[in-house]
């Protein structure tokens, strides 16, 4: 019996760095049947973790121009699609350029062309300038013409890219990010003490890049007020980004920098959530889903979220409390302080099992993706 060649998938991205989407892609690459699927990545850069993974798993890596050089980027993609062995699938992860890039793929004869919506832009779209809004509309028009399938991290992210009537078009669907749940079962003792926290401290966690989207300025204001209400409060933030020096300076100006531990990037986020954190704060201005929120629920943490985080992320409902960004930092702090000192409504084991039964486990996510990639064969 002849052995079928692997399905060749080209993932089109900007940079392969540390972030929720990138971590999901990395886990998918590790979990998918690599004898049946060959992943190549078309991206401008890859950090050392990604580079190591690419080499160890035999993934393809194709260096691209910077996406902001859009014409050069598109021409480079065109050459890649024509010069290499034919791809069966192109999977575009761009918020703003997918229409143009999928048109190039259509002209190159790629049969399955996937647009992936990772972000709900509805909360910020009105704040964009007229040129950017016009550009998004043109790109989305091209996308709806040239995409053969579209997937989204949440219902809100689907409406943002595919239109509010997206459910009436069978091309569009929601695919929740899967997470690897095995690390949430592993021992996580001694982590608090290793980080310098005392057993009596109440640790509020946050995971997110230091970018405007994650709303760290507002988070700092909440932290300042929370310290007044919960004297034992300490904070553990995981992330990096261009706003980090500004945020750290703001913490120093308020005299609370010593209350906030910042870890630039970690491979053991589940262990830090389970072993160190007592609650999770997530005041994002917008999200596609907020995969860190699902991870926090898998760790059994009470979660305090901005109302702009898609409700698809609410898996263990007793753990989730939503607060409006129109409310003051004082309101956020008083609500958090009042709630966090109560008994947890579900145990960590019950929370993990609830996530395991949901569509957010990695096995379910990879299985659906494999089915999608095989559609046109």
- 175 Cβ partners below 8 Å, 6+ apart? 151, 152, 153, 365, 368, 369, 372
Read off the pLDDT band of 342 (50, 70, 90).
confident
| Distance linking the first and last C-alpha atoms of the chain | 18
Neighbours of 31 (CB within 10 A): 17
Of the candidates 93, 114, 100, the residue with the CA atom closest to the CA atom of residue 15: 93
At 94-128, the pLDDT tens digits run 988 899 999 999 999 999 999 999 988 887 778 88
At 264-316, the pLDDT tens digits run 877 789 999 999 999 999 999 999 899 999 999 999 999 999 999 999 999 99
Is-contact 163 350, C-beta < 8 A? no
Of the candidates 253, 255, 257, 298, the residue with the CA atom closest to the CA atom of residue 280: 298
Burial class (CB in 10 A: 0-12, 13-18, 19+), 78: middle
For 290-314, letters b (16+ CB in 10 Å) and e give bbbbbbbbbbbbbbbbbebbbebbb
Tell me the helices (H) and strands (E) count for the chain, helix number first: 14, 15
What pLDDT score does 3 carry?
A: 46
What's the rounded Cα separation, in Å, for the pair 269 and 296?
9
> Mean pLDDT, to the nearest integer, of 233-247?
95
Mean per-residue pLDDT of the chain: 92
What pLDDT score does 189 carry?
A: 78
pLDDT of residue 1 exceeding 50, the answer is no
At 168-210, the pLDDT tens digits run 999 999 999 999 999 998 877 789 999 999 989 999 999 999 9
Domains of the chain listed by start with CATH number: 7-178+361-373 (3.40.50.2000), 182-356 (3.40.50.2000)
């Amino acid at each position: 019996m002849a052995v079928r060649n692997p399905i060749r998938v080209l993932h089109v991205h900007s940079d392969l760095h540390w972030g929720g989407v990138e971590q999901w892609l990395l886990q998918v690459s590790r979990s998918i049947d690599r004898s049946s699927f060959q992943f190549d990545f078309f991206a401008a850069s890859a950090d050392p973790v990604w580079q190591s993974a690419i080499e160890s798993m035999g993934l393809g890596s194709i260096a691209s121009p910077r996406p902001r050089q859009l014409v050069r980027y598109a021409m480079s993609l065109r050459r890649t699609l024509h010069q290499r062995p034919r791809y069966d699938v192109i999977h575009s992860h761009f918020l703003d350029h997918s229409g143009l890039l999928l048109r190039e793929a259509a002209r190159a004869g790629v049969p399955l062309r996937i647009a992936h919506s990772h972000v709900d832009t509805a909360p910020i779209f009105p704040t964009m300038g007229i040129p950017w809004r016009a550009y998004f509309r043109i790109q989305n028009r091209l996308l709806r013409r040239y995409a053969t399938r579209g997937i989204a991290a949440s219902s809100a992210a689907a409406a943002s890219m595919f239109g509010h009537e997206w459910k009436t078009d069978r091309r569009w669907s929601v695919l929740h990010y899967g997470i690897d749940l095995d690390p949430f079962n592993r021992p996580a003792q001694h982590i608090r003490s290793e980080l310098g926290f005392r057993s009596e401290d109440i640790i509020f966690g946050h995971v997110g890049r230091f970018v405007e989207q994650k709303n760290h300025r507002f988070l700092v204001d909440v932290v300042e007020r929370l310290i007044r209400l919960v004297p034992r409060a300490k904070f553990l933030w995981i992330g990096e980004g261009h706003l980090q020096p500004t945020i750290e300076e703001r913490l120093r100006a308020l005299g609370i920098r010593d209350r906030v531990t910042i870890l630039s990037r970690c491979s053991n986020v589940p262990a830090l959530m389970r072993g160190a954190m007592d609650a999770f704060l997530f005041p994002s201005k917008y999200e596609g889903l907020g995969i860190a929120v699902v991870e926090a629920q898998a760790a059994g943490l009470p979660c305090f979220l901005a109302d702009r985080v898609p409700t698809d992320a609410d898996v263990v409902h007793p753990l989730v409390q939503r607060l409006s960004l129109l409310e003051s930092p004082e309101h956020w702090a008083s609500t958090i302080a009042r709630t966090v000192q109560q008994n947890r409504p579900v145990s960590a084991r019950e929370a993990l099992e609830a996530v395991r039964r949901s569509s957010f486990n990695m096995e379910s996510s990879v299985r659906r993706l494999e089915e999608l990639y095989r559609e046109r064969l």
